[in-house]
Amino acid sequence: MTVYHSRRFSQPEMEPCGIFRTYTHSYRMNLTNVRCMKQVCTVLPVQGRQDAQDAVGLLFFCLAFFSGNNSIDATEGTMVLYRWKSWFSGIHEAAVFTENVDQAPLTVTERNQWKAEARALRAIYYFYLVRTYGPVPLLEKDFPMDTPSDELQLPRNTVDECFDFIVSELKGAQNDGLLDDASTDKVSGYGRIDKAIAQAFIIEALTYRASWLFNGECNYYSDLANTDGTKLFPNKPDEATKRANWQKVINECNTFFSNYGSRYHLMYTNKDGVSVSGPDSEGFSPTESYRRAVRTLFSEMGNNKEMIFYRLDNAAGTMQYDRMPNRSGNTTNYRGGSLLGATQEMVDAYFMSNGESPISGYSADGVTPIINEKSDYVEEGVSTTEYKGTDGTLYAPAGTRMMYVNREPRFYVDITFSNSKWFDGTEGDYIVDFTYSGSCGKEQGSTAVQGVRVRYNVRQGYLPCGRGA
């Protein structure tokens, strides 16, 4: 995930999708993030509005690789012809399969399992639709191909109805035939939906529902309604309702750990990716452990027990390119399209090395941060020394903006900033430079937008290398 700017996107631009740097896989669920979700949701009900908003921002950032297809651009072809069409096609195919599977020569157990998997997939496709487009029509039946177009002009269901349906269908699939653990099927288990995977999607769906993006707190679309006047988002919730919604997330997280947690384990490795017994082991590398837990390559996974759900085929090359800065003269391992970047809110949400949040909120202008004095966070100026992790990994060379120094290990895996060092590849110490004439600056791009596309979304008056004049 690339940072091209300092502060700050307006609230409507704070979309529920994070953008990671290289090797992050979109079709994955990860134990780290179930834990993160539970921790965040535990403290959310007692936090202030801004703190909660920032926590949710990081939570959605983590959800970017938790599931779904997050290699998204805003073109008509992607958002309409591909996403909308593909997900509703999947819903249609699940319905057709369910209607006809009884004709197949299967045992009752197999038939129930396959029906449950189709039911779960349909719910997941609906979740992708709601996450991307907001409330959508819930189809009560499958429509024949010759259905007149006017009969297909269906009103949207409310967002609460959509989430209720998604969660209900996933729970129904759990109870009606999903395998307890698909990984035990060594022949065809990979990629199959099992009870743990369904539970992870239940957690994610409820997290979105409870967030300010969907719970009625976001004024940007609070008045959205169907032509008959049906209001599609709930009214602004009171504190009791918000607490109850977040408590549902906590409860489902507890269910996950109680029923399925024993089969998953956090990844602990040294700098070379070799497994170690835990965080207190000699040679443990927090950066490499986290990076390998979320990287794309299936061939490197081995016995990676941190992964909950993933797919074997992927578009890692495209996603990696989109998220990497352009660098003139480098190979494809180090040269990207400079197409996507992180919001400053996402950057602020990462902890400092001492575990404290750097930012406790923002002033009334929505831009000026309120610095948490206990965090030792410094935003102005540049570093005079190298900043390294406990394992000796260089995180931030001397001369780095202080706002990027002394952060937690995950920060340096997920965020690319000016003067950051890439950890992968064969070209030695690759240092990112976003200044105009720098290695990844606008002047180096082969077109006018290379290296700067994300900057166009930034409020005027703020520079790509830090808070500017």
Are residue 9 and residue 64 in the same domain, yes or no? no
Same domain, residue pair 73 and 186: yes
CATH number reported for the structural domain that contains residue 126 in this entry: 1.25.40
Give a yes or no: residue 276 inside a domain: no
Given 244, 264, 284, the domain boundary residue is 264
CB atoms within 10 A of CB 429: 8
Question: How many structural domains is the chain composed of?
Answer: 2
Cα-only R_g, the chain: 23
Is residue 294 in some structural domain?
no
The pLDDT score that the predictor gives to residue 432 is: 79
Asked whether residue 239 is assigned to any structural domain, the reply reads yes
Asked whether residue 1 is domain-assigned, the answer is yes
Does residue 272 sit within a domain? Answer: no
Residue 3 within a domain: yes
Which residue positions in the chain have pLDDT lower than 70? Answer: 1-81, 185-190, 295-303, 310-324, 326-340, 422-429, 443-469
Q: Do 64 and 16 share a structural domain? A: no
The overall pTM is greater than 0.75 = no
Domain shared by 253 and 364, yes or no: no
Residue 112: CB partners within 8 Å, gap ≥ 6? 176, 177
Question: By three-state DSSP, how is residue 387 classified?
Answer: strand
Domain boundary among 233, 264, 295: 264
Measured distance CA(377)–CA(371) in Å, rounded: 7
DSSP letter assigned to residue 149: G
The separation between CA 170 and the C-alpha centre of its own chain, rounded to angstroms, equals 20
- Asked whether residue 291 is assigned to any structural domain, the reply reads no
Together in a domain, 232 and 366: no
Give the integer Cα–Cα distance in Å for 396 and 386: 6
State the pLDDT at residue 335.
64
Task: Specify if 53 maps to a domain.
Answer: yes
Are 44 and 79 within one domain? yes
Assess whether 371 and 436 both reside in one domain.
Answer: yes
The predicted structure's pLDDT at residue 148: 86
Task: Looking at the structure, tell me whether residues 34 and 160 fall in a common domain.
Answer: yes
What is the domain range of residue 18? 1-25+314-469
User: 199, 231, 264 — which closes off a domain?
Assistant: 264
Closest alpha carbon to 270 in 262, 261, 280: 280
Distance CA 296, CA 451 (A): 24
Contact predicate 309/182, CB 8 Å: no
Rounded to 5°, the CA angle 23-25-394 comes to: 30
Kindly state whether residues 13 and 82 are assigned to the same domain.
Answer: no
Q: What is the pLDDT of residues 15-60, one digit of tens each?
A: 222 222 222 223 345 565 565 555 555 555 544 444 444 444 444 4
- What is the DSSP track for 209-246? HHSTTTSS--GGGTT-B-TT--BSSPPPP-HHHHHHHH
- For tokens 């288990």, the residue is 189
> DSSP 3-state assignment of 2?
strand
**CA–CA separation, 294 and 20 (whole Å):** 10
Q: Do 152 and 70 share a domain, yes or no?
A: yes
> How many Cβ atoms are within 10 Å of 469's Cβ, its own excluded?
5
Considering the domain architecture, whether residues 374 and 433 belong to the same structural domain is answered as yes
Mark whether 18 and 38 lie in a shared domain.
no
Kindly state the percentage of the chain with pLDDT values over 70. 65
CA 29 to CA 199: how far, in whole Å?
Answer: 11
